[in-house]
Each structure stands twice: as structure tokens, then as C-alpha cells.
A and B are shown apart, each in its own frame.
Chain A
Amino acid sequence: MQIPIEYYLILSAALFMTGIVGVLIRRNAIIVFMSIELMLNSANLTLITFSSYLGNSIGQIFVFFVMAVAAAEAAIGLAIIIALFRNKLTVNLDEINIFKW
């Protein structure tokens, strides 16, 4: 007896929605960034589910590339957050409004 594919897909959707709630309600830039990582991971879960159920390793290679992109994104994104913190002395997204006119 095996787990139906729907369970994995619904779990992944729930994780994605958790990430979206995090992005919407939190104002700390780092936690928003972590929520984005959570959303990336839920997409990875979907890819691996389909890869496993179709018996095809393309999905897993794609996840591998997603991981590389996530690492690069973390390095650059956190560098930007640090640069913002140096200029504005805050990581609260509501206070970072110098682009607002």
C-alpha cells in the first residue's frame, strides 16, 4: 500500500501557504527572507514528488539547481539586508521607504 500522490501535493501547498502568510504578516526582513526559503522548499517537494512518481530523475536534477540558486540568493540577499542595515540602522520593512515618493 502506497501513499497517494495527492497527500504530498497538498502538504506542499500547505507549506507554500505558510510561507506566503509569513511574507505577508512579518515585518522583519530576515524572517520574510526565511519564509521565501520555505516557499522554495515546498516547490522542491512538488518537483521531487513528481520525479519519484514518474520514475524520472529530471525533477531531482532541477531541485539540485534550485538549491544552488537558493544558496546564491541567500548570499546576495543577506548582503543586501546588511547593506540596508548599515544605511538605515533597521531591518523593519515598513521603515525602509526611501524609494517611496
Chain B
Amino acid sequence: MTLEIVLFVIFALVCLVSGILMVTRVNPVISALFLVVNFGSLAGLYLTLNAQFIAVAQVIIYAGAIMVFFLFVIMLINPEHEKRFLEYKPQLKIFAVAIAVLVFLQIAYIILFSKPSEGVSREVAASVKAGTIEQIGRELFTKYVLPFEAVGYLLLSAAIGALVLAKKKFK
């Protein structure tokens, strides 16, 4: 159906353009805001893939929490030397872009060559069912309980570590 294609094209373009702008802007605040746009359009792409719960989680976690955090840290850091980052090494940039384009062409060739669309066919009903919050909750709390508890410990260690690192000379 055509709605899916229209949405895919729009979100993919927004995603790519904002990603490229994110990398090329000098001011880190503008860069972070473009990354928010990028994460929002990725949430839209997840919707076209019928992953509803992950789309919402993307907006809540990435666009809502992590990027706010990044903006706070950008504001924490003294911006006076931003011009110094412009110290220009054109040969390095050209080399980096050339390497990236080469690797991208390689990956694209492999993807097109291996023809994954012959192996998988998308059944919309099955993919809708896979993305619902009920299905994810069911799998998460029956098969994947151990990783779930491990995530709890990971986040505990993250909280303690960040407090220790940031609080040292705080008082």
C-alpha cells in the first residue's frame, strides 16, 4: 500500500539529512538538536516496521531522556574554545569520507548481492503481532528474565558510577 512507501521515503530522507547535518555542524547544541530530529524520524521508521512499543520507547528514552542529558553536558562544558575544533585537516576529512563511502558501497553490494528479500517475506499480521507491548512483555518476562535482571544490575552500576565520577569535587 502506498502510505507505507510515502512514510518510508519521508522518514528515511529526514533521517539521513539530519544525520549528515548532525555530523557537520560546528555548534554542538545545533548538532544535538539535529540528533533529536534523527531519533524522532527513526521512531517513525519503527512505526512503518510495525514495532509500536519500540517506537514509543525510542521517543521516551532517546529523544526524551538521553538527548536532554547530552544538552545538559554540552551546557556544562565551557564553550569558549569551540573555534579550535575547526582546526582543519582537509586530507584527514577527505580520507575519512572516502573510506566511509567505500565501506558503504561494499555493504550495499553485499546486501543487494545476497538478495535477502527472497529469503524473507513479510507477513503483516505476524509482524504486527510481534511488535505489540503484550508480546514483548510476554517474551521479556518468560524467556528473557535473566537478561532483564542483569539490566537491573547494569543500571545500578551506572547510577553509582556516574554519581562517584561526578560528585567527587562537588562539595
Chain A residues near B (Cβ < 8 Å): 1-11, 13-15, 17-22, 24-28, 30-31, 33-35, 37-38, 41, 44-45, 48-58, 60-61, 63-65, 67-76, 78-83, 85-86, 89-92, 94
Contact = CB atoms under 8 A, between A and B. Distances in A.
Nearest to B16: A14
A57 B16 contact: no
A30 B28 contact: yes
Given A25-B23, A48-B49, A64 B140 contact: yes
A94 B103 CA distance: 25
**Interface size band for B:** 35 or more
Contacts of B93: 25
Contacts of B112: 6, 10
B70 A78 contact: yes
Contact of A30 (B53, B77, B147, B168): B77
Q: Looking at B22, B58, B129, which has the most chain A CB atoms within 10 Å of its CB?
A: B22
Contacts of B8: 3, 7
B84 interface: yes
Interface of B: 1-2, 4-5, 8, 12, 15-16, 19-20, 22-23, 28, 31-32, 35, 38-39, 42, 45-46, 48-51, 53-54, 57-58, 61-62, 65-66, 69-70, 73-74, 76-78, 81-82, 84-85, 87, 92-93, 96-97, 99-101, 103-104, 107-108, 111-112, 116-117, 120-124, 126-127, 129-131, 135-136, 139-140, 144, 147, 151, 154-155, 157-159, 161-162, 165-166, 168-169
Given A17-B101, A18-B16, A26-B85, A67 B131 contact: no
Q: Is the interface of B mostly helix, strand, loop or mixed?
A: helix
Contact of B61 (A11, A50, A71, A78): A71
A64 B54 contact: yes
Contact of B169 (A8, A34, A86): A86
Among A4, A60, A86, residue most surrounded by chain B Cβ atoms (within 10 Å): A60
Nearest to A54: B120
B66 A63 contact: no
